[in-house]
Amino acid sequence: MPFIPHTDDDIQAMLASIGARAIDDLFDEIPSELKSTGLKGVPDGLGEMEISRLMLERAETDGRYLSFIGAGAYEHHIPAAVWQITTRGEFYSSYTPYQAEASQGTLQLLYEYQTMMASLTGMDVSNASMYDGASALAEAALMAVRSHKSSRRILIPATVHPVYRNVVRTIVRNQGIEVVEAPYCRESGQTLPESLDAFGGEEFAALVIPQPNFFGILEPVDALTDWAHRHNMLAIGVVNPTTLALLTPPGNWGEKGADIAVGEGQPLGIPLSSGGPYFGFMSCKQALVRQMPGRIIGRTTDLDGRPGFVLTLQAREQHIRRSKATSNICTNQGLMVTAATIYMALTGPEGLRRIAAQSHANTLALLEKLEALEGVKRLFSGPVFHEAALSLSRPAGEVLRTLEREGILGGLSLEESHPELGSAILVCATETKTPADLERFAQRLGLALGAA
């Protein structure tokens, strides 16, 4: 009986109190024809020792690789303190902080997180998290449509992560919102304002601006933001939080700044873990705060005038407003935000800046080595941050499989998502890579390309 403390005496005493003969009597309101005949697909229970052995074996099957994949999830060093504190039972096993007086720990931490994220993105306010970067972008699109009022169309450049575009379409489609894709420059790998002019005569609620974009290229964000505002659209920035230690934050893009910033929070202390749980962040200008989805924490005072924290502006949310809520989101990614907040406190502004700069420098060093190989070319001329697209002289899938046998994950093949680029891969080197790692990758890639 895992995790059930009842003794036989307890059970008898409790049944007597209820006035039932057996536990089965407690289910007597369920029509008998609905009752289950058994769970044939569920194996017998295991002890902790047996399941530990099974999970260790499976983990070992998967092994560890030297990975140069980015594409929306980035390997960074995570200080040991981050997850030791995050998995304290008081954070790990508490609920959404509806009872504010019993949840000041979580609430204050979320207020600190909102402060850090608002500053990192250059915005006025941040919410307490969304599910992930892709769903945060979808929510930003809905938010833009709600506040724009006259257009139900969103302009998304093709340099936005392809899966993000898919998720946005899946989520907004049923509300009759149209997603229009803008082409990118094949030379620079950027979205150029002049190429958007073709859409200038049409009405859109928002333009999405990725920084860096899916190809790792830095976009001309100032010009794009101003272009959006000139055409009466909101500007939504999709940003990588690590890079914001160095880059102009969305709130300061162009003349007026972007209106909403969203992104994937994973680089801030969240393990790669096959894709989740991560968290999405969302921040915006003060004027849009009442259109924002999700939890928002505010500072207030208690009966004695002491400062304290509560969930606020709850009239936007589903548990109050039901069908008129800004979103259906309820449970978000609280524990991931706990980790990210501790991560940002441990790295501080200078630490995060160094992590970002080292990732950039490592990627430049990697590109120098790889471009020196025969059969490897940079695909785009635009400036890169910590990721870049390369064309290969041999089929990408085949080359990557050869590297995998050497214990190297040599990037993401773009053959499926971007067939127009031919044999191409996206590579990334964060601060976790040493010069020896870069050398090993370059050498093995050279061999893989040379192999007949």
Q: Of residues 294-353, which lie at the interface with another protein (CB under 8 A)? A: 295-304, 306-310, 312-313, 315, 317-325, 327-336, 338, 341-342, 344-353
Part of the chain binding another protein (CB under 8 A), chosen from 55-63, 152-160, 184-192, 439-447: 55-63
Instruction: Give the 3-state secondary structure of residue 207.
Output: strand
Beta strands 206-211; 387-392: pairing state: unpaired
Helices 162-172 and 133-148 cross at an angle (nearest 10°) of 50
Q: Backbone phi, then psi, for 281, in 5-degree steps?
A: -110, 155
Instruction: Give the 3-state secondary structure of residue 45.
Output: coil
- Would you count residue 18 as binding another protein (CB under 8 A)? yes
Give me the amino acid identity at 384.
Answer: V
Binders in 34-53 for another protein, by CB under 8 A: 34-36, 38-48, 51-52
* Residue 56 CA neighbour count, 13 Å, CB half: 6
Instruction: Give the 3-state secondary structure of residue 436.
Output: helix
- Would you count residue 104 as binding another protein (CB under 8 A)? yes
Which of 8, 61, 150, 452 contacts another protein by CB under 8 A?
Answer: 61
Residue closer to another protein, measured from CB, 360 or 444: 360
* Residue 300 CA neighbour count, 13 Å, CB half: 14
* Residue 53 CA neighbour count, 13 Å, CB half: 4
Binders in 106-125 for another protein, by CB under 8 A: 106, 108-109, 111-112, 114-116, 118-120, 122, 124-125
- Would you count residue 287 as binding another protein (CB under 8 A)? no
- Would you count residue 3 as binding another protein (CB under 8 A)? yes
> By the 8 A CB rule, do 283 and 118 touch?
yes
Binders in 348-407 for another protein, by CB under 8 A: 348-355, 357-358, 360-362, 364, 383-385, 400-401, 404
- Would you count residue 21 as binding another protein (CB under 8 A)? no
Q: Backbone phi, then psi, for 40, in 5-degree steps?
A: -75, -25
Residue closer to another protein, measured from CB, 125 or 207: 125
- Would you count residue 271 as binding another protein (CB under 8 A)? yes
Binders in 190-249 for another protein, by CB under 8 A: 218, 221-222, 244-249
Residue closer to another protein, measured from CB, 36 or 201: 36
Binders in 409-448 for another protein, by CB under 8 A: 409, 412, 431
Which of 8, 21, 150, 174 contacts another protein by CB under 8 A?
Answer: 174
Instruction: Give the 3-state secondary structure of residue 372.
Output: coil
Residue partners of 90: CB distance under 8 A and separation at least 6: 105
